[in-house]
Structure 1
Amino acid sequence: MDDETIITGPLYEVHKKVYPQATHGTFRTIKWGLMAFTLAVYYLMPFLRWDRGPNLPDQAVLIDMPARRFYFFFIEIWPQEVYYFTGLLIIAAMTLFLLNALAGRVWCGYLCWQTVWTDLFFAVERWVEGDRRERIMKDKKGWTFSRVRELATKHVLWLLIAMFTGGAFVLYFADAPTLLKDLFTGAAPGVAYIWVGILTFTTYVFAGHMREQVCIFMCPWPRIQAAMTDEWALNVSYERTRGEPRMSVKKALAAHERGEKAGDCIDCHQCVAVCPTGVDIRHGSQLGCIQCGLCIDACNIVMKEIGRPGNLVAYDTDINIARRDEGLPPVYKLIRARTLIYPVIILAVAGVMALKLGTRADLFVNVLHDRNPLAVTMSDGAVRNGYTVRVLNKQANDRKVEVSVEGSPNLQLQIINGKGGQAAVVGPDQTLELRVAVTAPAGSVPAKPVDVVFTVKDETGATTATHKDHFFPQ
């Protein structure tokens, strides 16, 4: 019989609850600042006002589904302009790639919504239950009245934050003050309560209970990022050549007296204690590390207390890690091909979008020729072609427009479904469909199909729109 390997233990490691410890320092301060800024933007943005004139909403950022409009301060996007969202997605992707090229998963550590809301939930948890050691001891003691009260308080606060998160989301789809009042009085549409419920549930579960599991198991970015990074990207790293071998301060002093090497790392595990995903950075780059830098702050505090240089854990590159092993000085190369290509793409896409926004018209025309019949011969020998002309008015007021046609000599245009003639009125933010007849009088009928150009001009004469089509003699 062939030898067989007998597995006696579990196939997968049992997940251990992570109790992140509070810390302070440069990177913790940056995270607090970014968290306050991003949450303020998310919760307060719907209440900002922006005067767009009469007949238009005054909410600065609004996704108006009934009117099929997206408003962002002075920018108004129509459904036909969905390519602007494509441009924004390209810019967002390139920005993410650029951050990855510069500093790995720095997006995950500072700006990802999972990180931001989890940080907020951690802060509430520490405020109610205490820091890491207190929470571990309370969990070991089991259920007491005081413990139940603390947990109930924490989860109520979590649910309130989650509910406000869902509530803020729906405020982007209607006038925020009005909808907020309707939500509290029960007068809001049912779909608003459904979405508040969905966002409340997902925020509470992901930020309160799943936490690091979202970053490690659910999010695809760590896998993608690992394939896109290079050896020049800055990542949170442990300086092994300086830190090893690990030993206590007393043992290190004794080792120095004996002339032996002693590392600066005293194996205090503070870098692990403060990590929101429970990673030991001393084991090298890992999937769970979100590059938040909290372990750097924690290690620097310890190094300062024992009188040793800081930055034993720091942002560094794979190149420098290898160079230190060889006794070479560190080198940095922030400017390289990928850190130049990504900004160029971002600027190019942003430039095209800005140019398109700055030069776009607010009056459009589309023409569709009748298919059956293509042409009708009148009793007097004249030939008539029928067209459907759609005029789009993107202004917030009525506009009187005049439709004309150019191409073959003596062509005559008449609006059939209007009051006759060549003029019509298009309502604000509306599309008007016109049935138009173009006639070539007898004696002026072209011998073969000719190109014609339809022109729509508003009453001021300052704005025109054109569309090219054909006139058929038969």
Structure 2
Amino acid sequence: MAMPHLQQPDPAHPVPQNDTLPEDDRDQPLYKTRDKVYPKRVSGYFRNLKWFALITLLAIYWIVPWLRWDRGASAPDQAVLIDMDMGRAYFFFIEIWPQEVYYITGLLILAAIGLFLATSLFGRIWCGYGCPQTVWTDLFMLVERHIQGDRNARMRLDKSPWTFEKIWKIGATHLSWLVIAAATGGAFVLYFNDAPTVMVDIFTGEASLGVYVTIAFLTFSTYLLAGWAREQVCTYMCPWPRFQSAMLDDESMIVTYEGWRGEPRGPIKRKNLVRGEVPEVGHCIDCYACFNVCPTGIDIRDGLQMECIGCGLCIDACNEMMDKVGFPRDLVRFDSVQNSQLRAHGKATKIRIVRPRTIFYSVILVLVASVMAFGLLNRTTLEVNVLRDRNPIFVTLSDGDVRNGYTLKVLNKEQAEKTYILQIEGLDASDFQVIGLTPNQDGTFSLDVAPDRVGSFRVFVAANPETLSSESTPFEFSVTDPEDNVRETYDTVFAGPK
């Protein structure tokens, strides 16, 4: 087999090596250096919406662990609690057991589908108003702006030499951030412990190591993400911007720039406005107000970008400038791409909420919510589980009968002690006993189970081998709550000789 001919390098045209590349190209960094963003203060409709969302969400986060809910003497009275020690999750009147983790799964599915629906309708409204990264970054920037001043003052402060004024302003800012971050971590652990008790333990040094480690970790992460990383979390760390376009269509409501109206952009001098002289340019006066207020540092006039979180602050800033120069508002507006194109051609616009994409998400949302609601409303307060002994599979007694051993677990989900009646069905048993209990007159057993607990019982069943239909005879344990007329069964088998 002939070997392929390898072309030899031409001495007259050598292949360039790395050391022959221009020095400027060799020194290029692999990653773009971050340009710090200095958002400017702005007021308006969307800024007020963000303040409302921030106050509401932070109030919920910090207040909910302190709410009480009476579940009886045997259960905690904290309205929302994830009890890791007991393996329970409490949400007001709902109690979730470990084996009911599918409810948590359903809740996550609902959240995901709800996010898809909200995005298809209103763009990245979650990112702009509800995401914890946005909420805490907004709070941190509020503190920073209060101490260091607005955009220009902060830029001058960063460029200035280290003086006493700069040291105390920077120090006070970071100290305030750390206090907020510590309060964030402290509130988080309240959801996993009794809030009043663990709060006292934290300040008296009696809380567990896990509590202090959790608070320290969340303090550090909150301080890092909301104080330092900020928009980089949205741009580089969060996966949502990278597939949000799959949720959007031309009728989704997003922050848009009316280029047909704003271009060609150009500055307008105040003296021209006084004289009533308006240059023949678009309505965009190229003031960069939209850019200066953007928390991620983008220019909305460049179109929809991955970094845009849809907060609408650029709309407030632009409207303020339009009012000053006497132009109509909403050069930057919250609307669909389709409506923007219709306005460009002088046609009537419309907002269509009901469309195939939103119908699809809504149907899935309703189906999942209905299944979860049906399960919650119809779930039983009694569960039974049986483990059959594997070693030995059976024991032959002195009278020739065969005995099997079982571990019966009875789950009482109610907040009151229950007495259940145990019997076996489908097996001609010669002996049936529960260790430590005396049988009732009818051969059944009464099982007492504490409220909100699992009762474990050791059960032995014996049978004559001649009455067995096979080496594995099916039968069932039946547990009945006579008070509520609730009955649960568990199918198992009785093992015998071949």
Question: Normalising to structure 2: TM-score of the pair?
Answer: 0.87
Cα deviation, residue 442, structure 1: 8.4
Alignment partners' CA distance in 2, 1:284 and 1:6 = 35
Structure 2 counterparts to residues 64-463 of structure 1, below 5 A: 64-250=83-269, 261-324=280-343, 328-371=347-390, 374-376=393-395, 378=397, 380=399, 382-408=401-427, 412-415=431-434, 417-421=435-439, 422-440=445-463, 445-446=468-469, 450-458=473-481, 460=483, 462-463=485-486
Whole-angstrom CA distance in 1 between matches of 2:370 and 2:302: 44
- For the residue of structure 1 that corresponds to 2:375, the secondary structure is helix
Q: Is the 8 A contact 1:408 1:446 kept in 2?
A: no
- Alignment match, 1:52: 71
C-alpha displacement of 1:459: 5.5
- Following TM superposition, by how much is the alpha carbon of 1:352 offset from its aligned partner in structure 2, in angstroms? 1.2
Count of matched residue pairs: 472
1:31 equivalent to 2:50? Answer: yes
Is contact 1:252-1:263 (8 Å) kept? no
Q: Distance in 1 between matches of 2:193 and 2:266?
A: 61
Query: 1:61-92: CA deviations, max 9, x gaps?
Result: 11111111111111111111110110011001
Cα offsets for 1:397-442 (capped at 9, x unmatched): 4333221011145665321x22242223223333233222233468
Name the CA distance, whole Å, in 2 between partners of 1:188 and 1:473: 54
Structure 1 runs not aligned, ≥5 long? none
Contact 1:382–1:445 (CA under 8 A) maintained in structure 2: no
Which sits farther off after the overlay, 59-68 or 335-344? 335-344
- AA in 2 matched with 1:419: L
Q: Give the aligned residue type for 2:483.
A: T
Task: Letter of the 1:366 partner, please give it.
Answer: N
Aligned counterparts of 1:193 and 1:375: Cα–Cα separation in 2? 51
Shift of 1:270: 0.5
Kindly tell me: are residues 226 and 6 of structure 1, through their superposed partners in 2, closer, same or farther at Cα, counting changes over 3 Å?
Answer: farther
| 1:22–1:3 Cα change, 3 Å | farther
User: Paired residue for 2:490?
Assistant: 467
Q: 1:327 to 1:460 in 2, by over 3 A?
A: closer
| Partner amino acid, structure 2, of 1:172 | Y
Displacement after TM superposition at 1:47 (Å)? 0.5
Q: Percent identity?
A: 48
SS in 1 for 2:366: helix
Q: Map Cα deviations across residues 232-264 of structure 1 (whole Å, 9 max, x no partner).
A: 22211110010011122349969x999984200
**Deviation (angstroms), 1:137:** 2.3
For residues 471 and 117 of structure 2, the distance between their equivalents in structure 1, rounded to whole angstroms, comes to 57
Q: Distance in 1 between matches of 2:137 and 2:285?
A: 30
1:362, 1:393 within 8 Å by CA — same for their partners in 2?
yes
* Alignment gaps of 5+ in structure 2: 1-12, 440-444
The aligned amino acid for 1:210 is: A
Structure 2 match to 1:19: 38
Farther off after superposition, 73-82 or 145-154: 145-154
Q: CA deviation at 1:443?
A: 7.5
CA pair 411-354 structure 1, distance change in 2 beyond 3 A: farther
- 2:128 maps to a residue whose letter is G
Larger displacement relative to structure 2 (370-379 or 452-461): 370-379
- Separation (CA, whole Å) in 2 of partners of 1:331 and 1:440: 77
Amino acid at match of 1:264: H
8 Å contact from structure 2 (residues 83, 192) kept in 1: yes
How far does residue 320 in structure 1 lie from its aligned partner after superposition? 3.4
Runs of 4 or more off by more than 6 Å in structure 1? 2-5, 251-254, 256-260
Q: 1:380 and 1:205, CA in 2 relative to 1: closer, same or farther beyond 3 A?
A: closer
Partner secondary structure for residue 490 of structure 2: strand
Please report the RMSD computed on the Cα atoms of aligned residues, expressed in angstroms: 2.7
Quick one: distance in 1 between partners of 2:53 and 2:147?
23
Contact 2:429 2:463 in 1 (8 A): yes
CA distance in 1 between partners of 2:169 and 2:391 (Å): 77
Q: Match of 1:124, SS?
A: helix
- Alpha-carbon separation, structure 2, partners of 1:331 and 1:309: 20
- Pick closer, same or farther for the CA change 1:442–1:137 going to 2, 3 Å: closer
Rounded to whole Å, the distance in 1 between the matches of 2:56 and 2:235 is 26
Q: CA deviation at 1:290?
A: 0.6
> TM-score w.r.t. structure 1 length?
0.92
Q: 1:178: Cα distance to partner?
A: 1.0
- Three-state SS of the structure 1 residue aligned to 2:49 is helix
